[in-house]
Chain A
Amino acid sequence: MSRKGFFTDSTVCIGCKACEVACKQWNQLPDDGFHFTAMSYDHTGALGASTWRHVAFVERAEPLPGHVTGVGDFSWLMLSDVCKHCQRAGCLESCPTGAIVRTEFDTVYVQPDVCNGCGYCVVNCPFGVIDRRPDDGRAWKCTLCYDRLGEDMTPACAKACPTESIVYGDLEALHARAERRVEQLHEQGLVSAYLYGQDARSQPGTGGLNAFSLLVDRPEVYNLPPDPVVPTMKAKQAWGAVAVGALGMFAMAVGAVLVGRETRP
């Protein structure tokens, strides 16, 4: 099976949230309640156990080159956000039960019957994607429609996207398409366009993302970390500190016994 993924082109997203609805419909996820966040048209706020696609809305007082608005310096950025299916996934590397696996499509999948709800993947995702559902405590996230891929179908969100902002396909084809799109935008004058997390070269901390995006502003603006790292990469230093600490603890225990024994009258 070839490596599959998403390319999300934020410059053609119209914020219709069809992807959110299609995802909930196919995956049979409940709605998040009808809450207004009082900050933008974004009412879901973040990815979670019952929200596997989320459209971010950013209003900026800066113009986008090539855009004409009637209200002066203003631009609206939208990005449909999803689990990144990282090449080095923090959730997968930290899962103590083996519930999180890499599938034959190179995506990251949580097996619901194995997950025991320890919640360790939640703190290990540098993108804040995976979350524990509150009733039985199991972790849930985007499966990249694993049940549809097996039937050679397109994931629900990409299928429903009316502007092809979300493109699903083979990773190599997506990379080529994305690079062409960036060149095209640069020619049109939108020189701030770049690809976020396309491969290990542009994002070494995750080894590249299977769901990468085209952005036109800093990652922080879209609530994406600028230099994410799979926490496991830093674990060596922590284990090294444990080794040093173990020496210290051993010295304290043996030393105390020797001192206490020898001072006996």
Chain B
Amino acid sequence: MSTELPGQESLLDRLQRKRDGRNVDPRLGTLLGEGSHQRVKDPDVAFPIHGPRTQAEPDAGASPTYHGLPVIKQPVWIPTIPTYLYVGGVSGAASLLGLALDLHGNRPLRRLALRCQQVGTAGDMLSAGLLIADLGRPERFLHMLRVLRPTSPMSMGSWVLALSGGLNTVALVLGRARGILGTLGRVSGATAGLLGMPLAGYTAVLLCNSAVPVWQATRRTLPLFFMASATASAGSLLSLLPHSEEEARVLRPYRLAGKVAELACGVAVERDARRTPGVAKPLSLGTSGALWRTSRACSAAGLVLDALPGRRRWKQVAADTLTTAGAILARFAVFHAGKQSARDPRATFESQRAGHGAAEVLGHAVASDGKPLSFPLPVVR
């Protein structure tokens, strides 16, 4: 090859090539193509291996790990996702209350029905914005509605959110019109109200339908918790907004029922996770544990304050603020618990060895290495 190379050859390149005399075209080392443009992650953030590890030493005994490295990837989502889990829930539960008011409410409750619809619509819009903010490529959000895939809660949820937002908006615009347009608006509103229930619940399926141990383990109770919490927080938010005396009589049983259900389901979630001790750890330890405990305390305080006799406005505001804080903190706690759980390889290994992997749904008895899933003789302590 001749010594003349066009383009960006530096003096250093030329000197080096002259010295070692190799017949190498440095342009061949230039990376091209789509995959090559990626900026490589900061290793300390990308792989906890480079930073402090969850387990210092690989255990050669009963439960080995690969240098303590995580086996599955951490969720890549940013805090807009737990925020969305709250906003979507409030929006769904508010839309549903709007439907119930339209069905059974009387004249003094009309304004509350409209308020519910407004909260639902605003929540749907905000939810879409939060989801788009989380995507690495927001310009491609429409790809979400390219297919309908029943196996993917993300796909189902995108459709539910898009439909609910669209129908709520139609209902808000046309709901008070006369004639056929008014009917269209009211039918849209009713459909959006019904969609509010899957909107509040699918977000939990979104988390549970994953390889993250703590989310997968709580799949029977987390949807119930999210839906109860959505009811409690929608009731609290509507109570914080100005309302009349008649409307307060509907809001009080609604939010109280939600708050009681939320606390009960929170206990159920903890019990569900505790089937495997290693899996439940993030709900009691570290940042996620602190968040979870605080959220439970806020929710309990919100319920107690609300149920106490006396009708002072400040008491009501404090109770509803505490409930709202509890609901938001619970979403962040579940989110961070998932991240923590994914970092811990033992959570994955232990729960699968305990028969909570594929064996739970398929009923087989041996692991991939042909050994029995559970050791036949329980260790006597």
Residues of A within 8 A of B (CB): 27-33, 35, 37, 39-40, 42, 45-46, 48-50, 56, 58, 60-62, 90, 93-99, 112, 114-120, 122-138, 140, 194, 196-197, 202-206, 215, 218-229, 231-235, 237-242, 244-246, 248-250, 252-261, 263-264
Chain B 61-97 near chain A by CB (<8 Å), digits 1 or 0: 0011111011111011100000000000000010011
CB distance A254 to B357 under 8 Å? Answer: no
CB distance A30 to B40 under 8 Å? Answer: yes
Q: A116-B143, A246-B227 are in contact. Are A135 and B261 (CB under 8 A)?
A: no
CB distance B153 to A264 under 8 Å? Answer: no
With an 8 A cutoff between CB atoms, is B109 at the interface? Answer: yes
CB distance B73 to A130 under 8 Å? Answer: yes
Partner of B253, one of A237, A250, A260: A260
Can you list 27 A-B contacts with CB-CB less than 8 angstroms, sorted by A residue number? A30-B31, A30-B40, A33-B43, A58-B66, A97-B155, A116-B143, A196-B368, A220-B66, A224-B71, A226-B367, A226-B369, A227-B352, A227-B357, A227-B367, A234-B208, A235-B151, A237-B220, A239-B205, A241-B201, A245-B224, A245-B228, A246-B197, A249-B200, A254-B104, A257-B97, A260-B252, A260-B253
Residues of B within 8 A of A (CB): 31-41, 43, 46-47, 49-50, 58, 60, 63-67, 69-73, 75-77, 93, 96-97, 99-101, 103-106, 108-109, 134-137, 140-141, 143-144, 146-147, 149, 151-155, 158, 196-198, 200-202, 204-206, 208-212, 215-216, 219-224, 226-228, 230-231, 246-247, 249-254, 257-258, 261, 338, 342, 345, 348-349, 352-353, 355, 357-362, 364, 367-371, 373
Q: A93-B151, A196-B369 are in contact. Are A231 and B209 (CB under 8 A)?
A: yes
Which A residue's beta carbon lies closest to that of B32?
A28
Partner of A234, one of B146, B219, B251, B345: B219
A30 to B29, CA, bound (A): 11
Chain A residues with CB under 8 Å of B106's CB are: 261, 264
Extra A-B contacts (13), CB below 8 Å, given A220-B65, A233-B358: A28-B32, A31-B40, A33-B40, A62-B60, A118-B154, A124-B210, A127-B71, A215-B369, A231-B208, A235-B208, A242-B201, A249-B231, A260-B254
CB distance B209 to A46 under 8 Å? Answer: no
Give chain B nearest CB distance to A200 CB in angstroms.
10
Chain A residues with CB under 8 Å of B50's CB are: 35, 37, 45
Which B residue's beta carbon lies closest to that of A233?
B361
Give chain B nearest CB distance to A49 CB in angstroms.
6
Chain B residues with CB under 8 Å of A94's CB are: 151-154, 209-210
CB distance A238 to B220 under 8 Å? Answer: yes
Partner of B144, one of A42, A93, A96: A96
Chain A residues with CB under 8 Å of B73's CB are: 122-123, 125, 128-131
Give chain A nearest CB distance to B251 CB in angstroms.
8
CB distance B358 to A229 under 8 Å? Answer: yes
Which B residue's beta carbon lies closest to that of A221?
B64
Determine chain A's interface SS by DSSP, over half rule. loop
Chain B residues with CB under 8 Å of A205's CB are: 357-358, 362
A263 to B246, CA, bound (A): 9
Chain A residues with CB under 8 Å of B47's CB are: 45-46, 48
